[in-house]
């Protein structure tokens, strides 16, 4: 059997194993079958749920991911980048698990996030070029290093901010990392493809109990690790030449745009942006009467759309790429106004 055939088997085996492991453990944790990992999410001012729900689903996702990737490594050459990514995942995952079990000081969490960013930098994963269509200008080291750290830390935290509705964060992982896997496949980067596909599969396993009405949540362990992986995998893919970094950002733009827009709006309004809130677009739609299921299904359509266009963008001309970005900017603007209309119809205050 040829090595290329073994590689294809490995690419298929990782996601299958990751899916099964994640789904099985998610179900066990949702049923409180592992008492030592019984962690409940009690409603707070930011919550959209009204009763305590287990928030240990991130453990299932991370475990499924690690088991799935390990099952692929026998037939794929290990890249140094993956070793550094694994170290960063363990650091962020450990601190986030402590935070899920009890409050961890915010400075300690940020220190762990910054430490993870430095680990990725040590592994050669960094923001190397400006990366907009036709503007492939290399960044100097004094600018690339801080931009990379800011990018990684922001992706970790914005994913955490956006994890506030049944099925949303898991769906973003399914569509986002699924798109990265297809881009890796186009570029014949088999290890990259296997890792990205396994993340997507582990998220799919988690969604078996997280799709509305959710029986379990990701918790900080899951959302923070997925945010870290979104940053790491987009940087890795860009470094391999599979796609420019802006394509990776487009893939995760449903989260990037909502979280960044909401943060900037709250800062401009003089609101205490560091406190829990329900100002994200998806939260506003749920509060306006759309409910979890309707809102998340519309979000899936958006995620599928940006994923498909990002995959196609790699083969587009520079002009077509700018037109694509302009079209998505218009779509996000329309979404913003549509949310406001939903609030007006429901008699909710428009933010």
Cα–Cα distance, 92 to 58 (Å, whole number) = 12
Query: The tokens of 152 are what?
Result: 């990684």
Assess contact for 240 and 214: CB atoms under 8 A.
Answer: no
pLDDT given at position 182: 97
| Per-residue pLDDT of the chain in tens (351 residues, 90 and over written 9) | 445 777 788 788 999 999 999 999 999 999 888 887 888 766 655 655 556 788 899 999 999 999 999 988 876 777 889 999 999 999 999 999 999 888 888 899 999 999 999 999 999 999 999 878 988 888 888 899 999 999 999 999 999 999 989 999 999 999 999 999 999 999 999 999 999 999 999 999 999 999 999 999 999 999 999 999 999 999 999 999 999 999 999 999 999 999 999 999 988 888 877 677 788 999 999 988 898 899 999 999 999 999 999 999 999 999 999 999 999 999 999 999 999 999 888 877 766
Task: State phi, psi for 31 to the nearest 5 degrees.
Answer: -90, 5
pLDDT of residue 35: 80
- In the numeric block, the tokens 């990992």 are attached to 37
Segment holding 190, helix H or strand E: helix 190-210
């Amino acid at each position: 059997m040829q090595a290329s055939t073994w590689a294809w088997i490995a690419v298929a085996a990782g996601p299958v194993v990751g899916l099964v492991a994640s789904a099985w453990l998610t179900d066990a944790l949702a049923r409180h079958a592992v008492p030592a990992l019984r962690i409940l999410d009690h409603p707070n001012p930011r919550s959209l749920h009204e009763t305590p729900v287990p928030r240990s689903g991130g453990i299932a996702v991370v475990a499924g991911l690690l088991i799935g990737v390990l099952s692929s490594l026998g037939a794929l050459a290990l890249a140094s980048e993956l070793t550094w990514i694994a170290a960063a995942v363990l650091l962020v995952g450990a601190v986030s698990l402590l935070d899920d079990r009890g409050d961890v000081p915010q400075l300690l969490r940020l220190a762990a996030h910054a430490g993870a960013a430095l680990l990725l930098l040590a592994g050669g994963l960094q923001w190397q070029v400006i990366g907009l269509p036709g503007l492939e200008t290399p960044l100097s080291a004094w600018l690339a290093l801080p931009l990379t750290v800011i990018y990684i830390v922001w992706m970790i935290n914005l994913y955490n901010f956006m994890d506030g509705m049944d099925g949303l964060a898991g769906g973003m992982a399914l569509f986002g990392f699924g798109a990265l896997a297809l881009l890796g496949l186009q570029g014949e980067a088999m290890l990259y493809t296997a890792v990205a596909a396994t993340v997507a599969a582990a998220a799919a396993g988690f969604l078996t109990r997280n799709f509305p009405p959710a029986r379990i949540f990701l918790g900080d362990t899951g959302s923070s690790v997925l945010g870290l992986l979104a940053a790491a995998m987009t940087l890795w893919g860009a470094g391999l030449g599979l796609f420019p970094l802006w394509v990776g950002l487009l893939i995760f733009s449903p989260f990037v745009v909502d979280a960044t827009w909401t943060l900037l709006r709250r800062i401009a309004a003089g609101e205490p942006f560091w406190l829990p809130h329900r100002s994200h677009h998806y939260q506003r739609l749920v509060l306006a009467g759309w409910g979890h299921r309707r809102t998340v299904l519309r979000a899936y359509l958006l995620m599928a759309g940006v994923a498909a266009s990002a995959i196609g963008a790699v083969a587009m001309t520079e002009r077509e790429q700018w037109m694509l970005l302009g079209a998505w900017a218009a779509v996000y603007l329309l979404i913003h106004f549509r949310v406001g209309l939903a609030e007006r119809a429901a008699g909710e205050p428009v933010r």
